[in-house]
Amino acid sequence: MQGISFITHNGRQIPRAPTELGWADRFGGWKARWAIGRMKYSVKPGIYAVGNPDAGSPVFVSANYKMSFDRLRSRLVGRDGWILVLDTKGINVWCAAGKGTFGTEELVMRIEEVRLSQIVKHKTLILPQLGAVGVSAHKVKQQSGFSVVYGPVRAEDLPAFLDAGMKATEEMRQVTFPLRDRVVLIPVELVSWGKYVVLTAACFLVLAGLNPKGYSTSVAMSDGVRAVLILLVSFLSAVVLGPVLLPWLPGRPFSVKGLWIGLAVLFAGGLFLCYHTNAASGGFSTAAWVLMIPALTSFVVLNFTGASTYTSLSGVKREVKIAVPIQLVCAAVGVGLWLVGRFV
């Protein structure tokens, strides 16, 4: 971390984190969004100072995912306080709370470990609201003596929360999923799907050369490249348009939202073919793509449930049970028809 200094408090040396993010912090955040080294993007658990805190300054609790820590400290400009960083294995607050690493046990243990009672006189901790998924406030009180105050969901609301005497408005308590939050997830989705898409595309490219006489490289180059393009366009449409259009795609199930994208790709592709009649393909191939494209886009958007902020496990279980078998059958029949189309 850039710009770490040290303060002496009650005879102890405590690292002080700046409230200003440096270029390396910003670049690190950008890389994490592209899934580059994001599993190692962490800060050391423990206690940090912000500004010039004393024994009466507030204590904020955070995860040791560096983006979580950076978000918090960058909202504490001009304020004095302490940040207690839990060991969440480099995972953000909400996900870590879901896994239990941002939890009662770790919090109580960390309070002991940094000897928090020797640093502050008061008995109050400010936690991000989403930490409540892993923390039981009353158990923390019983086990450590510290009272938990749940702050706002978003660090950006922290100054207003503090200025209002640690009161969160209803809005600060609500998780939303605005366009900006959905769009920042696109790069990581692209990267994580990337290898499967490249592999599938390579298979289509190679198999496209099969024909009744054996194998034709020139057919692989024409039909194969076309298959790869169709796959890439379908995949990119789902990964980009799924998150962007999420609230407006009809239907509650994500698989249905994805289905619309596939149908739109088919429609656009059909129009394209109408203008290029010489590119008209056989019935088998057409039927194959009509099955495969919606299956692909539907599956990709279904998997965006994990990144969304409002889907329940019960709902996803139900949706997976119904949608995935249909997607698999469509994809399998589609691939079969496409292969048959090579030989007729």
Partner 1 sequence: MARLQYLKNVVTLNLDADKCVGCGRCAEVCPHGVFVIENKKARIIDRDSCMECGACQNNCPIDAISVGKGVGCAQAVLNGVLRGTEPNCDCSKGCCD
Task: Please identify which residue in 18, 225, 315, 339 interacts with partner 1, judged by CB under 8 A.
Answer: 315
Task: Please identify which residue in 160, 273, 307, 326 interacts with partner 1, judged by CB under 8 A.
Answer: 307
Nearer to partner 1, 34 or 215 (CB): 34
237 near partner 1, rule: CB under 8 A: no
Tell me 221's DSSP state.
Answer: I
134 near partner 1, rule: CB under 8 A: yes
Q: How far apart are CA 93 and CA 158, in angstroms?
A: 15
Does residue 51 sit in helix, strand or coil?
coil
Residue type, 123: K
Instruction: With contacts defined by CB under 8 A, name the span among 111-119, 214-222, 225-233, 318-326 that binds partner 1.
Output: 318-326
Q: How far apart are CA 253 and CA 312, in angstroms?
A: 11
Q: Which of 131, 114, 144 is nearest to 49 (CA)?
A: 114
x/- letters, 9..48, toward partner 1 (CB under 8 A):
-----------------------xx-x--xx---------
Report CA-CA distances (Å) from 265 to 226, 231, 289.
Answer: 14, 10, 10
Nearer to partner 1, 106 or 223 (CB): 106
Does residue 14 sit in helix, strand or coil?
strand
Show contacts with partner 1 in window 201-220 (CB under 8 A).
none
* Cβ neighbours of 121 (radius 10 Å): 10
- Phi and psi torsions of 221, nearest 5°: -70, -35
Shortest approach of partner 1 to residue 82 CB, angstroms? 23
115 near partner 1, rule: CB under 8 A: no
Q: Report residue 130 CA to chain centroid gap.
A: 15
Task: Please identify which residue in 163, 165, 170, 212 interacts with partner 1, judged by CB under 8 A.
Answer: 170
At 243, list the tokens.
Answer: 């998150």
CB 26 within 8 A of CB 87: no
119 near partner 1, rule: CB under 8 A: no
Size of the site for partner 1 (CB under 8 A): 58
* Cβ neighbours of 279 (radius 10 Å): 11
Task: Please identify which residue in 303, 331, 335, 342 interacts with partner 1, judged by CB under 8 A.
Answer: 303
- What is the C-alpha radius of gyration for the chain, rounded to an integer number of angstroms? 26
- The position carrying tokens 């009650």 is 10
308 near partner 1, rule: CB under 8 A: yes
Task: Please identify which residue in 43, 72, 86, 91 interacts with partner 1, judged by CB under 8 A.
Answer: 91
Nearer to partner 1, 95 or 292 (CB): 95
261 near partner 1, rule: CB under 8 A: no
95 near partner 1, rule: CB under 8 A: yes
Q: How far apart are CA 210 and CA 340, in angstroms?
A: 10
150 near partner 1, rule: CB under 8 A: yes
E strands present in 189-230: 210-211, 214-215
Instruction: With contacts defined by CB under 8 A, name the span among 42-50, 94-102, 195-203, 225-233 that binds partner 1.
Output: 94-102
Residues that bind partner 1 (CB under 8 A): 32-33, 35, 38-39, 67, 91-92, 95, 97-99, 129-130, 132-138, 150, 153, 168, 170, 173-175, 177, 185, 188-189, 191-192, 246-247, 252-254, 302-303, 305-320, 324
